Chain A
C-alpha cells in the first residue's frame, strides 16, 4: 500500500529561523512528489519534484528529492509568521492518473 510519512508532526520556531520538513514515501511506480501549503482550507501548490538531486526554489522555500532513499525535504529560510501553516507532502503513482497519496502534514508555527 502506498504510504507517505512526514516529520516532525509539528514544530514551533521563531521568526528568522530556518526549518527543514521531512517526507518519506513508499509508492509503486513513482511519478512525482508534491508539496502543498495549507493555511485554512485550500491546499496551495508549492513544488512538484520528479528527478533526484535537482533543487527547486521559490523565494525562501526550496525542496529536493532523493529517489534512491525515497524521501524529500522542504526547507524554509528566514521564516516569517506568514509561513505558519500545515505543510503537506504527497506522491503520485503512474497508474493512478491524478491520484495523490498525502501524508498527515507538518504543522509549523512561527512566533514573532
Chain B
C-alpha cells in the first residue's frame, strides 16, 4: 500500500475528447508529480506541483495541464486527446526537493 491513490484506474476516450485524472498524495507529502509511461518505456516527467503552483515541466504541450489543491491532492487534465496519449499516467508524491517519489497505481488511458 503506497498511500498514493489515483482515479480512475482505467478509462477509454476518443480522439478530441478531454480527460481529468485525479491523485491523492501520501499523508504529509507536499509535492505531486505526474508521469506518462507508454508501453515498454520508462516514465516521462510531465510536470510537478508544489504549494499549488506548477514547478517544473517536461516536454509536453500546453494541452496537458494540472492543479494542486490545498490538501496537496492533484488533477491532470488533457485536452484534445490524441492517439499517442494512450499510456499509463502515474502520480507520485514526495517532500519538496527530496528525490524519493512514492507512486500510485496509475490510470490507464486508452484513446481510440
Give residues in A with beta carbon < 8 Å to B.
4, 31-32, 34, 36, 40-45, 48, 88, 90, 92, 96-105
Inter-chain contacts of A101 with B (CB < 8 A): 45
Residue B86 lies at the interface, judged by CB distance under 8 Å to chain A: no
Residue B65 lies at the interface, judged by CB distance under 8 Å to chain A: no
Tell me the B52-106 residues at the A interface (CB within 8 Å). Answer: 55-56, 58, 88, 90, 94, 96-106
> Shortest beta-carbon distance, B55 to chain A, in Å?
6
Q: A5 vs B57: C-alpha distance in the bound complex, in angstroms?
A: 21
Q: A36 vs B31: C-alpha distance in the bound complex, in angstroms?
A: 19
Contact A98 B33 (CB under 8 A): yes
Number of A-B residue pairs, CB cutoff 8 Å, is 73
Q: Which one, B55, B90, B96, contacts A42 given CB within 8 A?
A: B90
Interface residue tally on B, bucketed by range:
20 to 34
Q: A99 vs B87: C-alpha distance in the bound complex, in angstroms?
A: 19
Asked, given contacts A45-B102, A104-B41, whether A98 binds B97 with beta carbons under 8 Å apart, the answer is yes
Contact A48 B100 (CB under 8 A): yes
Contact B96 A43 (CB under 8 A): no
Asked, given contacts A97-B50, A98-B101, A99-B58, whether A41 binds B88 with beta carbons under 8 Å apart, the answer is yes
Inter-chain contacts of A92 with B (CB < 8 A): 99
Q: A31 vs B100: C-alpha distance in the bound complex, in angstroms?
A: 12
Contact B42 A45 (CB under 8 A): no
Inter-chain contacts of B94 with A (CB < 8 A): 98
Inter-chain contacts of B104 with A (CB < 8 A): 42
Contact B55 A97 (CB under 8 A): yes
Residue B48 lies at the interface, judged by CB distance under 8 Å to chain A: yes
23 pairs, A vs B, C-beta closer than 8 Å = A34-B100, A34-B101, A36-B103, A41-B105, A42-B4, A42-B90, A42-B106, A44-B2, A44-B103, A48-B99, A90-B42, A97-B31, A97-B48, A97-B55, A98-B31, A98-B48, A98-B94, A99-B48, A100-B33, A102-B35, A103-B42, A104-B40, A104-B41
